[in-house]
Amino acid sequence: MQSEIVTVRTGTRPAVYDLTAEVGAFLEEHVDDGSGLLHVFVPHATAGVAIMETGAGSDDDLLAALDTLLPTDNRWRHRHGTPGHGRDHVMPALVAPYATLPVLDGAVALGTWQSICLVDLNGDNAVRQVRLSFLAG
């Protein structure tokens, strides 16, 4: 299995960060023209991975929907960090911290409008790590 950690800067505000280019570079470096499975994992308690369209407003819509479902207020029992930070710890139950995707002929098999995205609501941590792992098959 090939595995690598990619570090990305998400900033101090909620963000949807498109990882598709980083995934492509990882596959280009570690996978010739092979096929198998790519596992994308975010080893953080306050981030997730989504397969979605970006750039047409969907990323902002996702952040707005998560803000509606998980408001930034003092209802949360988990209270360290900035106000409302407890919601950041609930978010990975809705947007899982991983995704497993097929790789065919050396490229991730995404749909036409799909991208691989890191979803990060936690403004307290501006830098995130993402583990990319390829299992040949």
**Residue 81: Cβ-neighbour burial (10 angstroms; 0-12, 13-18, 19+):** middle
User: What CA–CA distance (Å, rounded) separates 111 from 120?
Assistant: 23
Q: Which amino acid is at 105?
A: D
Give me the pLDDT at residue 14, please.
92
Q: Are 14 and 136 a contacting pair, CB within 8 Å?
A: no
The pLDDT of residue 101 is: 97
- pLDDT-based confidence at residue 92 (cuts at 50, 70, 90): very high
Domain boundaries, the chain: 2-136
pLDDT for 20 = 97
Q: How far apart are CA 55 and CA 86, in angstroms?
A: 28
Task: Please choose, from the candidates 99, 91, 102, the residue with its C-alpha nearest in 3D space to the C-alpha of residue 52.
Answer: 99
State the architecture of 2-136 in CATH terms: Sandwich (2.60)
pLDDT digits (tens, 9 = 90+) for 30-83: 888 889 999 999 999 999 999 999 988 999 999 999 999 998 888 878 777 777
Judged by DSSP in three states, 50 sits in strand
**Separation of alpha carbons 14 and 125, rounded Å:** 10
Per-residue confidence (pLDDT) for residue 58, from 0 to 100: 95
In the predicted model, is pLDDT for residue 118 greater than 80?
yes
The string of pLDDT tens digits covering residues 3-35 is: 999 999 998 899 999 999 999 999 999 888 889
pLDDT of amino acid 129: 96
